Structure 1
Amino acid sequence: MKFKLLTAAAILSTSMSVSSNEYQWFSELAYSNIDAGGGLVDALSLEGQYFFDNKKALGPYNEFEYINKVSNIDASYSNIGLGDYYVTQASGEFFVNNFLLGLGLSDDKFGNNPKDFTLGYLFSDNFLVRVDAVDPEEGDTVYNISAAYNHQINATDYIGFTLATDDDTDMVSLSSKYFTHLGDDNYLAAEFSIVDTDVDNYWSLGASYYFNKATSVFASLDDNDLYEIGARHFFDENISLYGAYSSQDDSGFDIDIYTIGLTAQF
């Protein structure tokens, strides 16, 4: 009997270690204090997302594969200025025999109710093409076409690219993310994007360094002199707390944003 109990405990322990870094439900509560040109505004946001199958973390608890291939539903609520402005959103993405079907709905304080539609095809685990249509209540529908490709270097490391444009090719964007295991429990994620429009070009870059699976620091910078620095810590495999500071000085108009957020994933 003792041998059977030990065997069962070993099997259970192995099962938990294999699945402990897999998640299906994600939620986040965030509060921001915004100082825009001397005027203070508070913002609160709440978001939840459920995947119909497990999402496996790539070492750090908040890093996952570049191209999502799991059907999911998402809902969010944001409130800015204690009711001065709010927006609610709900969306879903569903994979059916490699086809991607998506629908999104939103509503804000002013009664704007745009709808989003998505049609895509997963040619392989590493190549996804999709068309996203935004249908506003007034005006023409806007179509965006994108192609995402992931080059898997090894079990954890990858470099991914996404090329996107609108139906008039007035806007073309290229973004990329590189994720690598540096050794021991250290990881690095780096991102870069550039947007080319008829008016101007914009770029942004960012990086996250992981001291271990639970603790990281991050920073970003873009072409509009907007930068952000922050840190995140998971208290266990499910709960994390993060803080961030971002600032922008554009044409003499200063914006400073202090954010604190709590996440849960199971």
Structure 2
Amino acid sequence: MAAATATNDRLWQNIRAEAQRACAADPVFGKSLADAVLAHDHFAEALADLIGRRLGGNAAGQARFTAFSIDAFRGAPELIEAAGRDLQVIVHSDPAITGLLAPLLHVKGYVALQAWRVSNWLWRHDHRDAALLFQNEASNLLQVSIHPAASIGSSVYLDHATGIVIGANVVIGDEVTILQNVSIGRHGDLPMRSPRIGRGVFIGSGATILGDIDIGDFAKIGAGTVVISDVPAGCTAIGNPARLTNCPEPASAA
């Protein structure tokens, strides 16, 4: 826990340093940076304020979403640790991004994912109406709808993040990348029949993953693929209906 806290402290100092340089280079943009970043002492405060700004609409709404987020971050510091890993993976994954400040402020998939982390905390603490409010506003304003009862790991990247729908009871592991217009949810009427996505999975744009199925670690789901059965670890699924290719030898033999 101490190591993770120290890492986030360094992360926050790096973000502040980037903001200070940007303010010096562009005083007009600097005012918004001062409000969004430099006015805060901690990463958790800045992130809660960012969620409030993106979801709240008017001043009262912003204050309400910010307060819910602060409560979640205070109650579960691991949410901030996950938020730090989510931010860093964007920088590592996207060659067009060279610093931490831009994805924090401008990558809507990032703030949508952090809003989901707050909603999930609210859901697990029996604040169901507030949790669903977060989902609804993220869907309306960010075009990302993640049910509060889903389970998502860390170092997750929602790239482009328009038209993403993730249903209740979906399980998503660490280091997963999800592109735009992806739907992941149940197949049929039973609520627990939702997919389980392993570590390091890549899900291409327009893919649909449905039902009580497992997507193995480091599998790849091609653009526009419709998956309704298991995908073994390391395999690539393409087409509609999905067919497997590039599987490791044991999976191919099976």
Higher percent of residues as strand: 1
TM interval, shorter chain, is under 0.3
- Relative CO higher for 1 or 2, CA cutoff 8 Å, sep ≥ 6? 1
Q: TM-score, normalised by structure 1?
A: 0.25
Structure with greater Cα Rg: 1
Larger helix share, 1 or 2:
2
